[in-house]
A and B are shown apart, each in its own frame.
Chain A
Amino acid sequence: MARMKFICDAERCIECNGCVTACKSEHEVPWGVNRRRVVTVNDGKVGERSISVACMHCTDAPCMAVCPVDCFYKTEEGVVLHDKDLCIGCGYCFYACPFGAPQFPQAGAFGLRGKMDKCTFCAGGPEVDNSAEEIKKYGRNRLSEGKLPACAEMCSTKALLGGDGEVIASIYQQRVKRRGKGEEVWGWAMAYNRKDAKSAAKQEVKA
């Protein structure tokens, strides 16, 4: 079984927001709810980089760990989904998530939370695949149709890759090799010895 993952290639992301509107259009996500967004660092300076962020469908998902009503579940393909019928809108998952993925509709005078909404990796929810019910609550279920998430499929520069982790990792790996840079951000050298990371990484590659 494939393990579904997203990866965003910061060397390619141009902050065009195509992923954001692809998601909005495919699932008719209401104004104010952003299942996906683009984050930019060093805006306007040399070194500016952007990445597209949504639910990362963690292997060890903190949202699942903290949910008091246990509304989360994981599919065979590793996609983290939740059941809106169980969700109580408490917002614990929002605190737990390192990516700010869980979204809450801002309805009501006292900031009523409502049912949590987040990226489904275009895999819907617990209802029957692509049933009217599922589309209404979670949006389209592209995986069940043999497609991949709309955001990744439509990414303007193919920066955002989504799909079988093995496949997208190999695509990304080839790009890094071809570019001749970027390998320095991976590996033990980066983790334990920042200063020498680059040269160490190069040696690793040579070896």
Chain B
Amino acid sequence: MLLTKKASGSVRKSGGFINNVNAALGTVDRRGFLKRSGMVAGAGAFASQLPFSMVQKAEAVPLAEALAAGGKIEVKRTVCTHCSVGCAIDAVVQNGVWVRQEPVFDSPINLGAHCAKGAALREHGHGEYRLKYPMKLVDGKYKRITWEEAYNEIGDKLMKIRKDFGPDAVYWVGSSKHNNEQAYLMRKFVSLFGSNNCDHQARICHSTTVAGVANTWGYGAMTNSYNDMSNTKCAMYIGSNAAEAHPVSMLHMLNAKENGAKMIVIDPRFTRTAAKADQFVRIRSGTDIPFLFGVLYHIFSNGWEDKTYINNRVYGMDKIKDEVMKKWTPAAVEEACGVPESEVYKVAETMAKNRPSTIVWCMGQTQHTIGNAIVRASCIVQLALGNVGVAGGGTNIFRGHDNVQGATDVGPNPDSLPGYYGLAEGAWKHWAKVWNVDYDWLKGQFASKVMMEKPGMTVSRWIDGVMEKNELIDQDSNLKAMIYWGHAPNSQTRGTEMKEAMEKLDMMVIIDPYPTASAAMPDRKDGVYLLPASTQFETSGSATASNRSLQWREKVIEPLFESRPDHAIMYQFAKKFGFADQLVGKRDGKQNVKVVNTPQGEEPVVEDILREINRGAWTIGYTGQSPERLKAHMRNMAAFDVKTLRCTTDVIDEETGYNINGDYFGLPWPCYGTPELKHPGSPNLYDTSKHVMDGGGNFRANFGVEREGVSLLAEDGSHSLGADITTGYPEFDHVLLKKLGWWADLTEAEQQAADGKNWKTDLSGGIQRVVMQVHGCHPFGNAKARAVVWNFPDEVPQHREPLYSPRPDMVAKYPTHEDKKAFWRLPTLYKSVQQKNKDISKEFPLVLTSGRLVEYEGGGDETRSNPWLAELQQENFVEINPKDAEIRGIKNNEFVWVMSPTKSKIKVKSLVTERVAQGTTFIPFHFAGWWQGKDLIDKYPEGAAPIVRGEAVNTATTYGYDSVTMMQETKTTLCQIVIA
């Protein structure tokens, strides 16, 4: 039936203003949006696709109220803080208030696109539920105090603990939400305090990736980029739910798909990512190795491996082949992970016949007791197919937080100084020199030289640092104080034990924009301090996205309420501790980092901190990314190609006069040499088809030059484009340079600085310059990747059942590791826990796994306090298969208890769904604020509780840690579910 209009409606006229608001705001008009929306083919196809003349030019009208108010309108370019994709945002600020956000269509990374979190970013400018001023717990209630009181009381107490129990009695959890400069300063701060007891989210995020992947081929980072995925012909997501965890990355994948790329998703859950796949394969949680080696079995059986590539660039593949063909037959694979041969074959065939193919993984692979081995199995598949160092290939490892890559690279890691230098004497001496700090003074800050060089505890295990018997821990004292500096507690496992640990501490300090669940979890009467930190929108600095590109954030607004930027708080604490001068490198009339006065007190200058990083982090090429270059990139984003990330024409930045021609967007590390060398950054790692000065490379020589009589260096003819040395070679130092007769290529000043040094410690950058610019070689050498990592517990990746396994038969067949005594300073259990619980699946028959929701991030304190996001997910829930629900009489959307083998139980809503298979359950991990059925709202400071609270899945999770990095096992444990 045709509806008849009652009236044709009045055609409305526009208002009388004619000023062009777009010109005032400098934002992009609708053409910009449509141009980027049409991006399905290569860059060249844009124009032909888009009939711009079809777009009606709108009559431009200004923001009337803005004009009326006479407010000053500014546009600040920043980057979303909610995941590692790095989506740019233009914040419109009027009279100092963040009034709007506009998409940045020019950003080559996100082309203006946002997920729910990015599109709701402006709420950070409201911060209604933030922690507003320093507070301390007095008789069970939070009371407001001043910053001065906070510094004095906390400072005195920490100094006393340091004096009585030693510097290792304080644990510092830093943050992947700090920018690079703050994360770096945090590592330095803890070093000056005299300890390695610091960590951040990477431990429980991708530590296994970093260790496993770096030990395979050199660097432990995403090899390619989100953008490069549009070049792939086949992508296999295994342990990644990108559609929820990295939504904007899907933009590039879906572009690839429209150009014919295949998409495979391997997961225990049918996720929203799986909904977009050509093939979905459901595996039993934690059986990634059987599956991946099952794929490899078919690759070898059909001769699909890249034999030339393996011969030239891979060490130990024969050993893998023997193991795979013997052990991982289709029958064994099906028995372990439940996938029939035909499906595994199809995956292998699709990956092999659609090269370049890529593998994407996230926490699904990393958060296991064997995470280090699982990620290596993925690397091995890619090496076998010759996919690494190729555009469209690689291992696209999606990191979590916005700066977890940067914080891993230069931040508070317990086992390394910035830049993966480690903790050996040489590393300390290198950084002491960069920091302009006396090495012997620094050594004196530590309990001893031994403790100075011993990796600290990890954030995943800090609770054991408090609770474990003193004689069993590998440091003098147990932990007495805990500083949570930008980290949620509900993201760590064993919640019930954590609560006990929190209650046992002498003092807890939470430095965060939000009180976080740490403020509410413990039943304490006193000894808790909450200090309001500013968000990344209230300061400036650089953040490293997952693809290793650095982006500079402008300060959007002044710090809200009484909050202060993290680096200012660090400096102000350092003053209290008496090492403020060392923190900013002030000695002998020199000062590395200037300090300025602000309404938030004294604050080190962020740009200067980055310059100090530039002067020290040679190992991973964090040396070329000067603040000036990064800012020029942010101002000229349109210059970079979406598919290659490169700028290929002369584009002169107006402010600096810097020509960005040749640069890759954000100077993805390694960006070697000094900024003046103008290395363009490395878009895809280990890519031999490019010259090193064009971002090319090869695998790193980091594991010696020979093993059991076999060379570890690349074969003849395998080298990066245009290299003077056309075979494998070791890493460069002054000796090798002299031997090759290249020493004379250094300037006199460089020679002076480089003598006795190598490419990592030569502060002049001369070695890197000569090796790359003059001779086209790679400073870290040219070697083979290792399929066999002999320094790991399992040199060939082995499947081992989780400690809490639903399959006693598989436990017998694939048992876990032996218990370890002192591992990251703590005894760590494997076999004893597994044996004790081998039949526990009778009582707790359901696999419990956890993961992300698109609306929330991490522990969720920030995002659950944002009304625009909170409205979309108001209750925590457990996904349960209809059959499992039916057996238990559970209906959809009713309260259930999830019972854990730890005797804890959590109350969540049921979501009866086929997303999970029978026998598997899933709970998102972002919730907190409830404790075993009880809402803790009264325990938060008034007005600062998140809008949405719920039960934390990690209240119910169990023991289990990776055998190399202490990654916690969150992806496979057991539970039982009953109606509440």
Query: Interface of A with B (CB < 8 Å)?
Result: 1-2, 11-12, 14-22, 24-26, 31-32, 43-46, 48-50, 60-62, 64-65, 67, 70, 72-77, 80-81, 126, 128-132, 134-135, 140-141, 143-148, 150, 152-158, 161, 163-164, 166-168, 170-171, 174-175, 178-179
Contact = CB atoms under 8 A, between A and B. Distances in A.
Interface stretch (B15-23, B566-574, B652-660): B15-23
Please provide the 3 A-B residue pairs with the shortest distance between their CB atoms, ordered closest to farther: A2-B56, A44-B915, A73-B9
B61 A144 contact: yes
Nearest to A136: B65
Given A129-B64, A158-B113, A174-B49, A14 B34 contact: no
Interface stretch (B210-218, B272-280, B386-394, B532-540): B272-280
Contact of A154 (B38, B61, B114): B114
Nearest to A81: B12
B57 interface: yes
Point out which of A1, A18, A67, A140 has the most chain B C-beta atoms below 10 A from its C-beta.
A18
B119 interface: yes
Interface size of B as a range:
35 or more
B317 interface: no
B855 A17 contact: yes
Contacts of B527: none
Contact of B62 (A12, A126, A130): A130
A135 B67 CA distance: 14
A171 B6 contact: no
Contacts of A163: 30, 33-34, 55
A23 B122 CA distance: 12
Interface string B237-259: 00000011001101100100111
B138 interface: no
B58 interface: yes
A22 B40 contact: no
Given A174-B38, A174-B49, A129 B68 contact: no
Contacts, number: 246
B12 A75 contact: yes
B100 A60 contact: no
Contact of A156 (B34, B54, B250, B280): B250
Given A61-B3, A167-B51, 12 more contacts: A16-B247, A17-B115, A21-B869, A25-B121, A31-B867, A44-B913, A50-B275, A126-B12, A129-B61, A147-B33, A148-B34, A178-B259
20 contacts: A12-B254, A14-B243, A15-B243, A21-B869, A22-B120, A24-B120, A44-B915, A48-B275, A73-B7, A144-B14, A146-B60, A147-B27, A147-B30, A156-B113, A161-B37, A163-B33, A167-B54, A171-B37, A178-B40, A179-B258
Contacts of B100: 26, 140
Contacts of A61: 3, 5
B50 A167 contact: yes
Contacts of B38: 171, 174
A60 B2 contact: yes
Interface of B: 2-12, 14-17, 20-22, 27, 29-30, 33-34, 36-41, 49-51, 54-65, 68, 100-103, 111-123, 243-244, 247-248, 250-251, 254, 257-259, 270, 272-273, 275-276, 280, 854-855, 867-869, 871-872, 913-916
B247 A156 contact: yes
B65 A132 contact: yes
A76 B56 CA distance: 11
Nearest to B855: A17
A49 B243 CA distance: 13
Contact of B64 (A49, A74, A131, A154): A131
A2 B162 CA distance: 71
B733 to A, nearest CB: 47
A46 B280 contact: yes
Contacts of B51: 166-167, 170
A14 B272 contact: yes
B122 A25 contact: yes
Contact of A130 (B64, B122, B855, B915): B64
Secondary structure of the A contact surface, majority rule: mixed
Contacts of A179: 257-258
A61 B40 CA distance: 33
Contact of B115 (A76, A128, A156, A170): A156
Nearest to B10: A73
Nearest to B45: A174
Contacts of B248: 156-157
Given A131-B15, A146-B22, A62 B3 contact: yes
A16 B759 CA distance: 45
Point out which of A25, A43, A65 has the most chain B C-beta atoms below 10 A from its C-beta.
A25
A154 B119 contact: yes
B30 A146 contact: yes
B5 A64 contact: yes
B120 A16 contact: no
Nearest to B914: A44
B39 A49 contact: no
Nearest to A17: B116
Contact of B113 (A80, A128, A131, A157): A157
A144 B15 contact: yes
Contacts of A65: 3-6
A37 B626 CA distance: 43
Contacts of B33: 147-148, 152-153, 163
B270 A44 contact: yes
B67 to A, nearest CB: 9
Nearest to A42: B275
A174 B40 contact: yes
Contact of A145 (B11, B16, B60): B60
B404 to A, nearest CB: 20
Nearest to B21: A145
Contacts of A178: 40-41, 258-259
A25 B120 contact: yes
Given A1-B56, A146-B22, A178-B259, A16 B115 contact: yes
A171 B34 contact: yes
A141 B61 contact: yes
Contact of A175 (B8, B16, B118, B258): B258
Given A16-B116, A21-B120, A153 B103 contact: yes
A75 B9 CA distance: 8
